[in-house]
Amino acid sequence: MSTLDSCQVYIAGFSFHHKPFHSTETDGVKTYLMRLQTDGRCRARYDGKLGMIEAGDLLLYSPGEPYELKIDQEVNSLGELMVESGDYHIFFGGTWVDEWWNRQDRPTRMSLPLNEGFLNLFRQIALEQRRMENPYPEIPGYYLRILCLDIDRLLKERPIKTHKTYLAYQIKHYVEENASYMFKLEDVAAHVGISVSRAVHLFKEAFGTSIMQYTLDVKLDMARERIIFSPMSLENVAETSGFANYTYFHRVFRSRYGMSPKQFRLANREQLM
């Protein structure tokens, strides 16, 4: 990787605290810092105050910003006082990061959905940093780039206006995470704790399409990528993309892309050669 466009992970890991913990950087953090609360509650300094941090809260600090973390007894969901706090943390930097940071204003604290794809980026970065011998040390930096861009995408989509919009985005993320599995509208509605009719209405109102149509769109996108870039058989592509049978997959794929899955694979592989 060129030093002119670097993106480096210095420290990355996961911490879980059952005992009180207090950390203060009065002179400010030395690098960029990203911290994602995954479990429990704690307090951290942002916007000039020591505020509550809960699961799904992401903290972002630039070099020189004051940082304070206090983990002590907090009230949990059962109303009990206990010390419990889990988080992923990444110290990072580089010229690419400088450019990304200056691209737009971001709050120090933001609440983001803890979906599996988002969490997996933190896991992969932490895993790569733990490898004793890594013949490809640039890999964590590439994962970090994806994470930074994913944060901006989630910020753009963040449901901050109304509770109804929030529920619609929760449904959208559920579909994206589970599209390759068989689920019913009842499963989607139960996930967000509302009736099926309300879930259908809120999603249509927010995104202009139905839940099941969006699910089909996500499945077809997955299948398209696998047809082009994977060696899977077309039957396996259909199965792993969430289609109950190949006949149905063949029909909806041709309707969307104007050619059969086999023709689509041949056409795109010729372009890649």
Residues 22, 113 within the same domain: yes
**Do residues 99 and 28 share a domain?**
yes
What pLDDT shows up at residue 3? 45
- Residue 177, classified by CB atoms within 10 Å of its CB into exposed (0-12), middle (13-18) or buried (19+), is middle
Cα(245)–Cα(235) distance, integer angstroms: 8
- How many CA atoms are closer than 13 Å to the CA of 126, on its beta-carbon side? 15
Specify whether 253 is located in the same domain as 195.
no
Q: State residue 79's pLDDT score.
A: 72
CATH number at residue 96: 2.60.120.280
Cα-only R_g, the chain: 22
Measured CA distances, 26 to 21, 65, 121, 157 (Å): 16, 9, 30, 34
Tell me the three state secondary structure of residue 74.
strand
Tell me the whole-structure pTM to 2 decimals: 0.60
* Domain containing residue 265: CATH number: 1.10.10.60
Sequence length of the chain is 273
Residue 228 sits in the same domain as residue 197: no
Whether 149 and 265 share a structural domain: no
Domain that residue 152 falls in: 3-157
200 and 263 belong to one structural domain: no
Rounded Cα distance, 167 and 248, in Å: 31
89 residue type, one letter: H
Helices (H) and strands (E) in the chain, counts: 10, 10
Total domains in the chain come to 3
Inter-residue contact 72 to 20 (CB < 8 Å): yes
DSSP-assigned letter for residue 5: G
pLDDT digits (tens, 9 = 90+) for 200-221: 999 999 889 999 999 999 999 8
Same-domain status, 131 and 223: no
Instruction: Assess whether 174 and 105 both reside in one domain.
Output: no
- Note whether 84 and 18 are within 8 A (CB): yes
pLDDT digits (tens, 9 = 90+) for 8-20: 999 999 999 989 9
Cβ–Cβ contacts within 10 Å for residue 167, how many? 21
Residues 253, 121 share a domain: no
pLDDT for the residue 2:
44
Same domain, 247 and 118: no
Using the 3D structure, point to which of 208, 229, 244 is the last residue of a domain. 208
Residues 19 and 132 placed together within one structural domain of the fold: yes
Residue 90 is predicted with a pLDDT of: 97
Are both 37 and 98 inside the same structural domain?
yes
pLDDT under 50: residue ranges of the chain: 1-4, 160, 273
